[in-house]
């Protein structure tokens, strides 16, 4: 068979089988990559994403442009990427809300599992359990006892349906106490009102809450991780306080639109894991009380599914809604 005929036959088979020619990904990436974030500039998601984007650009040999598309609990950014061409040039950073939103929103314009391919989990970060320093409690058991005998105890959250809200709802179910949820638009106003005593408790992230703990403006009585934090070695976990199955972790991860070739997913995964293994990157992430992960696409997919199932139970039992 002549070379020209062989070439024609190969291209015909590609068209017939719906396969992408090797040239589609052999030179990937050949232009800048867009990293879409579900949040406004500033904050942990934005900071970590920009750290990763800078290093990833060096590894891939192309610019990685961060684009902030906040709003609707991350759903605006997710819908945008779900509809993007699956060629590896438009990627999505997600937070834990990606796994809770299907149970919080009635009509999402995308399928959380079917419309995306996981690349890797970037980080995992626990929350602090803080109270107003005037509250007469210095431990989780003391808080539970106080809430049981004191009607009207309130707790703040950064917003309805976020893990600071759902984490407290789960603890209420486990410990059998009641507390009134007071949602805010972000961690800053929630912290301000907890410091002022307008609310009694709050679950901030480590990066947002630790400075106020160190200044004595709030009292930390527990951490939601499965083990103690190196930044706060003397503070017990909620699990240690009598609730061994309890843990709450926020997280960030990287996804691509469904249909993105496996070769591109693998390249992005490998380069991102290299970034997460860099000493300076790990140090910056650890300074915010987070841990770099770097899971496989399969592991991250399983984690998303397990988080959807776990928080779906809490959402159903607590009646939490955001729309």
What is the DSSP code string of 149-195?
HSTT-EEEESSTTSHHHHHHHHHHHHHT---EEEE-SSHHHHHHHHH
Same domain, 121 and 139: no
Q: How far apart are CA 110 and CA 274, in angstroms?
A: 30
pLDDT of 211: 93
Q: CA nearest 90: which of 203, 258, 288?
A: 258
The answer as to whether 313 is a domain residue is yes
Would you say residue 236 lies in a domain? no
Per-residue pLDDT tens over the stretch 82-134:
999 999 999 999 999 999 999 999 899 999 999 999 999 999 999 999 999 99
Taking the C-alpha atoms of 28, 55, 81 and 111 in order, what is their torsion angle to the nearest 10 degrees? Answer: 100
Residue 229 lies in a domain: no
**Helix or strand run (H / E) with residue 291:** strand 291-292
Q: Are 38 and 117 part of one and the same domain?
A: yes
Number of domains comprising the chain: 2
In a domain, 207, yes or no: yes
**Predicted pLDDT at 302:** 98
pLDDT confidence of residue 126: 96
> How far is 275 from 279, CA to CA, in rounded Å?
9
Are 134 and 217 within one domain? yes
What is the structure's pLDDT at 124? 96
121 and 179, same domain (yes or no): no
Tell me the residue range of the domain where 158 lies.
129-223
CB 300 within 8 A of CB 118: yes
Do 173 and 313 share a domain, yes or no? no
Provide the CATH number for the domain around residue 218: 3.40.190.10
Which residues are within 8 A (CB) of 109 and not within 5 positions of it... i.e. 6 or more apart? 75, 79, 82
pLDDT for residue 287: 84
Looking at the fold, whether 43 and 120 belong to one and the same domain comes out as yes
Are residues 113 and 148 part of one domain? no
Last residue of one domain, picked from the residues 174, 207, 223: 223
For residues 262 and 204, state if they share a domain.
Answer: no
Q: Which residues of the chain have pLDDT under 70?
A: 1-25, 323
Alpha helix locations (H) across the chain? 3-17, 23-26, 43-60, 75-82, 97-104, 140-149, 163-175, 187-196, 206-214, 262-276, 279-287, 297-318
Res 59: pLDDT? 96
Residue 23 lies in a domain: no
Q: How far is CA 254 from CA 131, 300, 301, in A?
A: 33, 9, 11
């Amino acid at each position: 068979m002549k070379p020209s005929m062989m070439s024609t036959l190969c291209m015909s088979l590609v068209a017939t089988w719906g396969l992408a020619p090797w040239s589609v990904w052999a030179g990937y990436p050949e232009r800048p990559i867009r990293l879409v974030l579900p949040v406004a500039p500033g904050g942990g998601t934005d900071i970590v994403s920009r750290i990763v984007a800078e290093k990833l650009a060096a590894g891939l040999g192309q610019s990685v442009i961060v684009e902030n598309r906040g709003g609707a609990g991350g759903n605006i950014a997710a819908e945008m990427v779900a509809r993007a061409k699956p060629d590896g040039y438009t990627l999505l950073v997600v937070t834990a809300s990606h796994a809770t939103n299907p149970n919080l929103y009635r009509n999402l314009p995308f399928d959380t599992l079917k419309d995306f391919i996981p690349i890797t989990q970037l980080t995992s970060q626990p929350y602090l359990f803080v109270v107003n320093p005037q509250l007469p409690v210095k431990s989780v058991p003391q808080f539970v006892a106080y809430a049981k005998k004191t009607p009207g105890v309130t707790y703040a959250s950064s917003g309805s349906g976020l893990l600071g809200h759902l984490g407290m709802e789960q603890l209420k179910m486990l410990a059998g106490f009641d507390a009134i949820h007071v949602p805010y638009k972000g961690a800053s106003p929630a912290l301000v009102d907890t410091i002022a005593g307008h609310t009694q408790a709050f679950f901030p992230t480590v990066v947002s809450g630790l400075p106020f703990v160190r200044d004595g403006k709030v009292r930390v009585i527990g951490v939601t991780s499965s083990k103690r934090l190196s930044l706060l070695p003397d503070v017990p976990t909620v699990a240690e306080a009598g609730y061994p199955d309890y843990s709450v972790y926020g997280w960030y991860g990287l996804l691509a639109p469904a249909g993105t070739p496996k070769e591109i997913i693998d390249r992005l995964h490998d380069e991102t894991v290299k970034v997460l293994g860099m000493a300076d990157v790990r140090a910056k992430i650890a300074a915010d009380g987070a841990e770099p992960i770097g899971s496989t696409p399969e592991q991250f997919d399983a984690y998303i599914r397990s988080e959807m199932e776990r928080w779906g139970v809490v959402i159903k039992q607590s009646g939490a809604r955001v729309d």
